[in-house]
């Protein structure tokens, strides 16, 4: 193969790479614009892990794609109960910052349909980089009183000021509270 042919091949490959990169960037940008205000509740029933063995109903995973961090939260107690705490598994995903440096102090507010509010959650992050998992634990009882009673219609977890979004609300209704 001549030098001229090799140069032409290299130029064509580089051109194709640049064009495809710009195309992918445009698609991602368009998807971000469309999902900037999307919060969706996903009730997965496609695997053994996503169905509670003790209650046989789908486990809730709620995903919020606002801002530059996508955050999904799963309420774990219907799947694997913790006798002392309400436990939430948090999935964080982005392509801009190292998420292991996030600080949830003062950014987690738990509330119930009865107006009970708790803002002193325990939390920790596992992993590092752009895709990490966090866990949030809230005591089931405060001052001897249960947070969830037979009258509770829903529980709600609010994550505040994370990833450029003032407030993200994650809510689970009565069917997940028994």
- Nearest partner of 150 among 116, 174, 126, 125, judged by Cα: 174
What is the C-alpha separation between 55 and 124, in angstroms, rounded?
Answer: 28
User: What is the mean pLDDT of the segment spanning 4-32?
Assistant: 67
Q: Is the domain of 59 the same as that of 13?
A: no
In a shared domain, residues 55 and 116: yes
Burial of 136 (0-12, 13-18, 19+ CB in 10 A): buried
Question: Are residues 65 and 18 part of one domain?
Answer: no
Percent of the chain with pLDDT over 90: 36
Token reading at 40 = 């969706």
d(CA 54, CA 99) in angstroms, rounded, equals 33
CB atoms within 10 A of CB 74: 21
pLDDT in tens, 77-109: 888 889 999 999 999 988 888 788 888 888 999
Q: Which residue has the higher pLDDT, 101 or 39?
A: 101
Q: Are residues 88 and 59 in the same domain?
A: yes
For the segment 118-152, what is each residue's pLDDT rounded down to a tens digit? Answer: 988 999 888 888 888 999 999 999 888 999 999 99
- The neighbour count for residue 47, using CB atoms within 10 Å, is 7
The CATH number of whichever domain residue 132 belongs to comes to 2.60.40
Residues 127 and 146 in one domain: yes
pLDDT score, position 3: 82
**CA dist 36 to 32, 33, 42, 67, 73, Å?**
6, 5, 17, 6, 17
Residue 51 predicted with pLDDT over 50? no
Q: Domain check: are 22 and 48 in the same one? A: no
Residue 43 pLDDT greater than 50, yes or no: no
**pLDDT at residue 45 above 60?**
no
- Full DSSP string of 135-174: EEEEESEETTEESS-TT--EEEEEEEEETTEEEEEEEEEG
Domain boundaries, position 56: 36-176
Q: Which residues pair with 41 in a beta bridge?
A: 62
User: What element of type H or E holds 43?
Assistant: strand 39-44
What was the pLDDT predicted at 172? 94
């Amino acid at each position: 193969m001549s030098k001229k042919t090799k140069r032409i091949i290299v130029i064509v490959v580089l051109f194709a790479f640049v064009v495809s990169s710009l195309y992918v960037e445009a698609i991602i940008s368009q998807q971000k614009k469309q999902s900037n205000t999307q919060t969706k509740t996903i009730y997965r029933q496609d695997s053994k892990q996503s169905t509670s063995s003790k209650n046989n109903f789908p486990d809730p995973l709620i995903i919020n794609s606002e801002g530059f961090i996508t955050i999904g939260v799963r309420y774990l107690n219907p799947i694997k109960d913790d006798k002392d705490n309400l436990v939430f598994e948090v999935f964080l995903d982005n392509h801009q910052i190292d998420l292991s440096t996030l600080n949830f102090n003062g950014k987690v507010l738990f509330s119930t349909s009865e107006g009970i509010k708790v803002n002193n959650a325990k939390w920790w992050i596992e992993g590092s980089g752009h895709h990490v998992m966090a866990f949030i634990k809230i005591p089931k009882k405060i001052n001897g009183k249960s947070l969830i009673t037979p009258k509770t219609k829903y529980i709600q977890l609010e994550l505040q000021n994370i990833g450029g979004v003032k407030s993200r609300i994650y809510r689970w209704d009565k069917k997940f509270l028994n």
